Chains A and B, each alone.
Chain A
Amino acid sequence: LTENSNLNANVVGGRLSSVGHLRAWDANAVAEVVEYLGETTIVVPRELLRATAARCRDAASMQFNLLTDATCLDRHPYEPRFEVVYQLVCISRREKLRLKVRLSGKEPVLDSLVPVWPGANWLEREIFDLFWIHFNEHPDLRRIVLPDDWEGYPLRRDYPVEGYRDIPVMPLGFVKTSI
Chain B
Amino acid sequence: MTTVETAVGQAKTMVLNMGPQHPSTHGVLRIMLELDGETVVKAVPDCGYLHTGIEKSCEDKTYSQAITLTDRMDYLNPLGNNLVYCMAVEKLLGLEVPKRAQYIRVMMVELQRISSHLVWLGTHAIDLGAMSVFLYCFREREEILKIFEMFAGQRMMTSYIRIGGVALQPPAGWRQAIERFLKYMPSRVDEYETLLTENRIWMGRTKNIGYISAEDAIALSMTGPTIRAAGVAYDNRKLFPYSSYDEFEFDVPTRTDSDCFARYMIRVAEMRESLKIVRQAMDKITDDGAIKTEAPGIVPPAREKMKTEMEALIYHFKIFTEGFSPPAGEAFVTVESPRGELGCFVASDGSPKPLRVHFRSPSFINLQALPKLVEGQLISDVIACIGTIDIVLGEVDR
A interface residues (Cβ-Cβ under 8 A, vs B): 1-2, 36-37, 39, 41, 65-69, 71, 73-75, 85, 87, 91, 94, 96, 98, 117-123, 126, 130, 143-147, 154-155, 157, 159, 161, 179
Contacts and interface: CB of A to CB of B under 8 A. Distances in A.
Complex A-B, nearest 9 residue pairs according to Cβ-Cβ distance, in ascending order: A119-B221, A145-B48, A69-B360, A73-B356, A71-B358, A145-B51, A161-B60, A122-B368, A119-B220
A119 B59 contact: no
B328 A1 contact: yes
Interface string B359-376: 010001101100000000
B343 A69 contact: yes
Contact of B223 (A65, A68, A118): A68
Nearest to A2: B329
B218 A39 contact: no
A155 B367 CA distance: 22
A161 B47 CA distance: 22
A162 B222 CA distance: 34
B240 A96 contact: yes
Given A1-B329, A68-B341, A87-B332, A74 B356 contact: yes
Contacts of A73: 330, 347, 355-356, 358
Interface string B319-359: 00000000111111010000001010101010000011010
B397 A69 contact: no
B234 interface: yes
Given A122-B364, A123-B365, A146-B51, A179 B44 contact: yes
Nearest to A116: B219
Given A69-B332, A147-B48, A119 B60 contact: no
Contacts, number: 106
Interface residues of B, number: 47
B223 A154 contact: no
Which secondary structure characterizes the binding site on chain B? mixed
Nearest to A143: B48
A155 B56 contact: yes
Given A96-B240, A144-B47, A155-B55, A118 B219 contact: yes
B360 A161 contact: no
B59 A161 contact: yes
Interface in B233-271: 234, 239-240
A122 B368 CA distance: 7
A145 B51 CA distance: 6
B46 A179 contact: yes
Nearest to A159: B56
Contacts of A41: 330
